[in-house]
Amino acid sequence: MKIYHLSAECYPVAKVGGLGDVVGALPKYQNLAGLQAAVVLPFYDRKFTQENEFETVFAAATLLGNKRYFFEILKEKTDKLGFELYLVKIPGLLDRENIYSYPDEREQFIAYQLAFLDWISYSQQTPGLIHCHDHHTGLVPFLLYHSKLYTRLANVPTVFTIHNGQYHGAFGWDKLSLLPEIDLTKTGLLDWAGGINPLAAAVKCSWKYTTVSPSYLEELTYNSNGLEYLFYTERLKGTGIMNGIDTEVWNPQTDAMIAAKFTARTLAKGKRANKEVLCSRFELNPEKPLFTFIGRLVVEKGADLLARAIERSLLENEGEINFLVLGTGDKETEQDLLKLKNKYPEHCAVFIGYDEALAHQIYAGADFLLMPSRVEPCGLNQLYALRYGTMPVVRATGGLRDSVIDFGDEGGYGIRFIQDNVQDICHSVFRAKQLYKDTAKLQQLRKQMMTLDFSWARSTQQYIDLYKSLNPII
């Protein structure tokens, strides 16, 4: 029986963050394990859709309020991603380049969900399970079970995965008319804090919900942007499953994006070669420990602390260390980092933007990866770093707490700190610098990191077990 994954993102079609990585990998590994998983995305006019062939497998119209929209379901012809990929295309609504930030974003994602349900309903499909990801798909469980249009599908199990509980996709009751006919006695399932909250509705209506790490399941009960009580009352319905990484894409032995391929056996030589290439590009001294940050320059990631922590660390360690930042986000944070780059050009490099190939090269060439996150539901960067023998230096929150053990503890291989402040970051940088001087110890820890299993194979089985608890014949 077919399992449909619904998401706003899927690598390499459209990706902004970790959501895209997960949805681009999990279905592939589920299929390798014997399931029939497919992905349904909104259509985006981007490189992937421009360079690959699609066929129309269904076409109809759906109502969004009193407006009728024609939609097509396009299927990628070759299943090159390891799963069937379907795109919902709606001229004038779902045919644009960007994933987010349009003024009619609410209408876009509501129309996407309605078009999916109409397709499944009109084509007489009965999926084994529908797996929804984040608030962009959060209305699907409610509509399946409480709209007369989809009565035939009312017994289809739904799973909802929360990749980031800070974003709810909430909107006012004035947009209720955009939904099809629903059971008005059930509108309380849509409501939270006086508005329609898709994330809350999905938690209430899905058969099971998951978070992307065990620790994040607990954290949502005290840090979820206003939904704390909901997550506390629904906590027995939730399961925390740590994300995996696609070890075919993130493999230093075969990675075409890095200057020198390497294995755990050739680690020392490979890391050195990649570090020299990286430092040459940014005019940094490869003899000094290289700390890096990769990601969105936003408060949740602790990026507002970076400039102060970097400058203080440079002063405290008397220029014995180097920093490289790759990211984009808050403009003030970007400017603070660029000023730092100009002030300490021999020790600090900054690349504003995102470059996938550069990210791979940084994981391969850096010594330490900084992740001072305030909120990190799972985190994938620390898993990529471990795969390439780069030690994560992380704040102990969410998935970072679940995946990184401090090297001072038994079996440890990373560096953890507790508080989201400059002092804790700087202390951790100092510990890392001291460890860097112990070459033998660092090499031993790097080899240990590279043997850790954070592949999707392990996580996939947990999802399969969850699915089968809801539908044994999947």
The answer to whether 12 and 41 are in contact (CB under 8 A) is no
The answer to whether 301 and 373 are in contact (CB under 8 A) is yes
61: exposed, middle or buried (C-beta count within 10 Å: 0-12, 13-18, 19+)?
A: exposed
Q: Which amino acid is at 178?
A: L
Rounded Cα–Cα distance for residues 24 and 31 (Å): 12
The answer to whether 263 and 293 are in contact (CB under 8 A) is no
Is the dihedral angle over the CA atoms 434, 392, 213, 308 positive or is it negative?
Answer: positive
**Matching residue, tokens 């809801």:** 470
- Residue 67, classed as helix, strand or coil, is strand
Residue 73 to residues 41, 43, 115, 150, 153, Cα–Cα distance (Å): 10, 9, 9, 18, 19
| Cβ-based neighbours of 411, under 8 Å, separated by 6 or more | 405
Taking residue 236's Cβ as centre, other Cβ atoms within 10 Å add up to: 6
Q: What is the dihedral of CA 321, 327, 331, 337, to 10 degrees?
A: 10
Confirm whether residue 77 is marked as ligand binding: no
The answer to whether 106 and 130 are in contact (CB under 8 A) is no
Q: How far is CA 207 from the centre of its chain?
A: 23
Closest CA to 188 of 141, 142, 134, 235: 142
The phi, psi pair for 151, rounded to 5°, reads -55, -35
Going by the annotation, the residues of the binding site are 15
- Which residues does the annotation place in the binding site for ADP-alpha-D-glucose? 15
